[in-house]
Amino acid sequence: MKLRSAVTAGLAGLVLALAVPGSAFAATGQFSYTFTDDQGRVLTVALHDPSSEECVNLPYVGSEWVEPGHSPHNSTDELVTVFRGANCTGPEWKLRAHGKPATEQLKVRSVWFHGPS
């Protein structure tokens, strides 16, 4: 069981490294969200210092074939817009910089970090 958790954590880190390429700007801080995996485990994923001014499909929930993530928490120094759909489409909501966690009712698949003001 511990080996499976270690492998899952390692794969999560690799996916995050590949899913969020570098850009000229990056938010400082952490953006996190929660999702339920295919084994029914509730997991939280965090993007550390994510790239700004580009759409980010969230790892594990960025496809219409899986349940969306929920309860996003923007602890970065930038305003973000979260989207119900992949590729920054569908209903959207703005989350303040260094804001409080949203509720489980707010479903997310992608996010846009607005960059420095």
Which domain covers residue 70, as residue numbers? 2-113
Is 15's pLDDT higher than 70?
Answer: no
- The answer on pLDDT for 88 being more than 50 is yes
Q: How far apart are CA 85 and CA 114, in angstroms?
A: 18
Cβ pair 54, 23 in contact under 8 A: yes
**How many CB atoms are closer than 10 A to CB 11?**
11
Predicted confidence (pLDDT) at residue 94 exceeds the cutoff of 60? yes
**Based on the structure, what is the number of domains in the chain?**
1
Q: How many angstroms separate the CA atoms of 113 and 42, rounded?
A: 25
Q: What is the pTM of this model?
A: 0.77
**pLDDT recorded at residue 116:** 77
- Bridge-partner residues for 51, per DSSP? 26
Task: Tell me the CATH number at 14.
Answer: 2.60.20
- 111 vs 5, 9, 57, 107, CA distance in Å? 27, 22, 7, 11
| pLDDT value for 42 | 96
Q: What share of the chain is helix, strand, coil (3-state, %, to 5)?
A: 20, 35, 50
Check whether 10 has a pLDDT greater than 50: no
* 67 — pLDDT class (breaks 50, 70, 90): very high
